[in-house]
Chain A
Amino acid sequence: MEGTALAVCEILRYLIIHWKCETAGLPKGALLEGELVISTEALNSEHQANALHCVTTIASAGSHCDGFVLKNFLKEIQSILPGLSAKLMWTLEETSSSPNTSGVSPFQMIFEVDEKPRTLMTDCLAIKNFLHKITMVHPKIRFHFSVKVNGTLSEEIFGAENEPILNQPNGIALVVNYQRYVSRPKFGVTELLCGRIHPVPGQPVTLSIPDDVAAVGLLGELILTPAAALCPCPKAFSNQMNRISSVSVFLYGPSGLPLILPSREQPTTVFADISCFIDWKKYHLCVVPNLDSNLDRDWVLPDVSYRVESCDGDQSQIIDPQGHTLLLFLFVDFHSGFPVQQMELWGVYALLTTHLNAILLESHRVVQDSVRIAVDQALEQHHQVAKAHQKLQASHAVAVNSIMSVVVGSTNSTFRKMCLQAFQAADTREFGTKLHKAFNEITQHRFLHCLGGVKQLPPEKHDVAQNTEDACESCSPEHLPGEVFALRVSPGLSWGGVQVKTVTSAFHCPTAFFHSSVPLGFSGFLVPLWAFWDSSRHPSQKLL
C-alpha cells in the first residue's frame, strides 16, 4: 500500500480508537456511531510527469473530538508515514463548536501527496476494502468516500446501519448479511433462501506474548476470540451445493479494527500453513492459499484467503467454485482487566501486525483448540443441513417412484388422465420428471414463504447467537443489502437487481475506479458532491 491509502487507514484507525475510548462508559455491545467523509481530489501534477497531485480530506461532523490531542496525533501519524511526502494540515473548527455542545465538534484533516495514477487507483481500492472491513464490525459508522480525478467524480457510501448484526460474546458486533462476504452474482436471488451467515463463536483464549515481543513494548494480556460461519447459510441454500470451496480469514485487533492493512503481500506467515490451527483432513478438505490479490471487488476481501482443492492430488481439479465459503474471524483484543491507553492502542496495531505470527505460534495449542471448536460447530451445521437435504432428496425419490408406480400401473384412465393433466404432461415420462421437480420446488417454497411472506420482521440489530433454524425462519428481504440505501434515496427501487451507474472514471486511465455498472450492493449510488455540502458554508467545511 502506498501513501494515500496507508495514511487514510491509519488516520481512520486513530479516529475510531479515539471514539471508542471516549465512549468507554457506554454499555458493552453499544455500537459506535458516527460519520466520516473521505474525499480525494486528484489533478495532473505540475511537478511530476505522469503523476497526480492528490489532496485527501478526512472530515467528520458531530464526532466526539474533545480531548483530541493534536500534537500527539501528528507526531504519531508522521512517525508511521515516513515514506509519505505529504503536507499534513489540521483544522479544528473551534469557532463552530458551541461550548454547550457536549464535546461534539467537527474536524477536518487534509494531506497532499503526488502519486502515479495506477497507484492512486490501487490505493482507492485498498481504502474501499478497509472501509468494508470496518463497516462489518462497526455498522453504524458511515463513511462517505469520494474520488475526483481531473473533474470526474466517483463516490460511495459505506455503512450497515440497518443490516442484521450479531453480537459476539466479546462484545463486538458482526454484520451477518451474507452478501458482505461473497460475490452477489454467485448466488442468484432465486437460489438463495437465507440472507444471513450464522457465526459460531469459539472459546476466548488468552494469548501468551513471547518475551522478545514484550521487550519491544507489547505488554498486557491479549485475548483471541474466534468465530466461524459458512457463507451462504447452508440450511437455506436451495440447490444441491454442499461443498466448501474456499476459506476466508479476517483479523481484527482491539476496538474491532482491521488488524491488517490491505496489501499485496501475505500479512503473516503463520497462515501460510493453515493446518497449524485447523486440521483440514478432519473435514476432508485440501486447502491451498489463494494468491489472487485483486482488490477490485464489491464484497469485503479477507485478510487471508484459501481455496479448496480436490483431495486426490489433482490440483487442476478445483472444487466447485460455487460452493460455500468458510469464514473465520479472529478478534484479538486486550483483556478488559488491562485497560490500555488510547495512544498505546493505536501503537499496538503496528506491534500486533508485526508480531502476530510469533504471538499466535506461542499460543498455538490454545488457538488451535478454540478455532477448532468454532469451525467444528460451523461445519456441523453444514453437515446437518447437508444430511437433512439428503434425507429430503432420498425420501422424495421414494415418493416419486411410489406415485409413478400407481399412476403407471393404474387401469383407471380417468385417474391417469387427471394426473397427467395436473402437470400438463404429455406422457408418464414427462409426468415423472415434473413430479420430481415439483417435490424439489416445495422444499424451496417452504423457505421462500419465510422470505417473501406477509410477516415483516424488524431488523434484528442486537441478536444474540441463535440456532440456524430460528435465524433462517426469520429472514426477510429488507435485511439484504443495497435495499437500505435504495430505500433511503429512491423508495421506488425494488429489492435486488437494481443497477446503478457511477459517474465514471474516464480520466486518462482505461480502468475505471469503480465499476461502471454494479448491482446495488455496497457501491452506493450516485449523489453529486455538492449535495453533502451546505452552500452557505465554506467548501472546506464539511457538514453531514
Chain B
Amino acid sequence: MAFAPMGPEASFFKVLDQHRAFLLADLRRVGEETPRGGTRPASSTEVLAAIENIIQDIIASLARNEAPAFTIDNRSSWENIKFEDSVGLQMVSQCTTRKIKSDSPKSVQNFALILKILSMVYKLVQSNTYATKRDIYYTDIQLFGNQTVVDNIINDISCMLKVPRRSLHILSTSKGLIAGNLSYIEEDGTRVNCTGCSTAVAVPSNIQGLGNLITDAKFLLIVEKDATFQRLLDDNFCSKISPCIMVTGKGVPDLNTRLLVKKLWDLFHIPVFTLVDADPHGIEIMCIYKYGSLSMSFEAHNLTVPAIRWLGLLPSDIKRLNIPKNTLIPLTKRDQMKLDSILKRPYITCQPFWRKEMEVMADSKMKAEIQALTFISSDYLSKVYLPNKLKFGGWI
C-alpha cells in the first residue's frame, strides 16, 4: 500500500519472506488433497427448506403417534474428533450422537428450545434480518435461562443443518481488534482503513460480507491479550515493523475474530504468528486459532489456520533472556491440569518443538506473562524482543 508508514529495511523481512515461500509451497502441496468438509455457506432458500424439512419430520412423527426427537452430533466429545495437520481438529464423519426426545422430562425442555430457536432463525432468514446470539437470549431470558444455553443450541443447529452460523442470520458479537496495514469495505459499503498507529479498529461482525481487502503486510501478529495489544499500539509497533497487521481476540477469540484471521490467511497467505503468555491458557488460545476448538470442530475448515507459528513468549525465552525470577508465577493446579490436557491432544504429536516448550514449562513449574519482559525494559517487547524474533526466525 503506497500510503503505508515507513518500516525497517527490506532485509529485515528476509527470513519472513522465506517462511512465506515455504508456507505457499506447503499450501500448494496440501490444498488439493484435503477435501472440504463441515459447514458450507447456504442460501436463504436452502436454510428455509432445511428448517421446513425438520418441522415436517416432527409433524410426521406426531401423526404416527411417535415422539419426535432431534439427533444431535456430540460436538464436544473427543471420540468424535480427528486431527489433520492441514485442517486441525475436525469432526469425524460417523460421529456419535445424542437424542433430544420430546417425551422425556429430562430432554423436553431442550427439544422445545431447539424448536424455538429454529423458528426464530426461520423468521430472520425469511425477513433477511440479523440478530446476535445475545439478541436471541434477550427475546425471552426466562425461557432460555442463560446465554450459554442459547449459544450451545445455535451451535447444535449449525452443526445439524451443516451451515455456518452466518447462514442462520445469527451474528456473534465481535470483541476483537485489528490494527495495521489493512483496508477493506464492509457489507454496507463503509470503507475501513486499519492503518493508524495509535488506534485500533473493532473486528467487524460480518466477516463474510467484507470486500476489497487490501494489504501489504509481511505478517499477521495475533496478540492474546488486549493489554499487550494496546501496549504495542502505544509503542507504534505497526509502523516500526511496517507493513504488518495486528489482531487481538482479547483472550479466547470470538468467532468473528477467528473468521477474520482465517480470511486474511486464505486471501493473502501471509505468515501468522501468535504472541501469548508463557502459560497453559495462552498456549490453549493459540491452539484455538491454529487447530480449532472442540465445540466448533464441525466448522474447522472455516476457522482454523494450521500455518500459525508460535512466536512468543516461549518458556525457553524465560531462561534465555534471564527474566527475573520474581516476575514468574508458579503454575497452579488448574494450570498443571490444563498443561497435561494440552500435551495429550492429538495435534501436539506433530509439534515436537511446542511439546518441548511445554515440557520446559512443566519442569520449571513456572509461568510468565508477556508483561514480564517489561522488567528488562519498558519497551523491550516492541523494541527488541519482537523485532529480533521476526528478523531471525525465532518462531516454532
Residues of chain A whose beta carbon lies under 8 Å from any beta carbon of chain B = 388-389, 391-392, 394-396, 398-399, 401-403, 405-407, 409-412, 415, 418-419, 422-423, 435, 438-439, 441-443, 445-446
Contacts and interface: CB of A to CB of B under 8 A. Distances in A.
Nearest to A412: B52
Nearest to B143: A398
A412 B48 contact: yes
B243 to A, nearest CB: 50
A395 B52 contact: no
A446 B59 contact: no
A427 B65 CA distance: 20
Contacts of A403: 55, 58-59, 115, 119
Interface stretch (B106-114, B128-136, B281-289): B106-114
Given A422-B63, A446-B67, A439 B123 contact: no
Chain B contact surface mostly: helix
Interface in B42-75: 48-49, 51-52, 55-56, 58-60, 62-63, 65-68
Interface residues of B, number: 32
> What are the 3 A-B residue pairs with the smallest beta carbon separation, nearest first?
A388-B105, A395-B112, A398-B112
Contacts of A419: 55-56, 59
Contacts of A446: 67, 103-104
B111 A423 contact: no
A338 to B, nearest CB: 47
Contact of A399 (B65, B105, B112): B112
Given A407-B55, A409-B126, A415-B52, A445 B67 contact: yes
A301 to B, nearest CB: 35
A422 B122 contact: no
Contacts of B126: 409, 411
Given A388-B105, A402-B112, A403-B59, A442 B66 contact: yes
Given A391-B108, A439-B102, A445 B59 contact: no
A313 B112 CA distance: 40
B118 interface: yes
Contact of A409 (B49, B103, B118, B122): B122
B55 A395 contact: no
A392 B104 CA distance: 8
Interface string B345-384: 0000000000000000000000000000000000000000
A405 B113 contact: no
Contacts of A418: 56
Contacts of B19: none
B139 to A, nearest CB: 12
Contacts of A392: 103, 105, 108
B116 interface: yes
B44 to A, nearest CB: 12
Contacts of B102: 395-396, 399, 439, 442
Contacts of A394: 112
A49 to B, nearest CB: 66
A441 B345 CA distance: 47
Contact of A391 (B48, B62, B109): B109
B119 A402 contact: yes
A399 to B, nearest CB: 4
Given A402-B112, A442-B102, A443-B103, 6 more contacts: A395-B111, A398-B116, A402-B115, A403-B115, A419-B55, A445-B65
A398 B115 contact: yes
Contact of B56 (A389, A399, A415, A442): A415
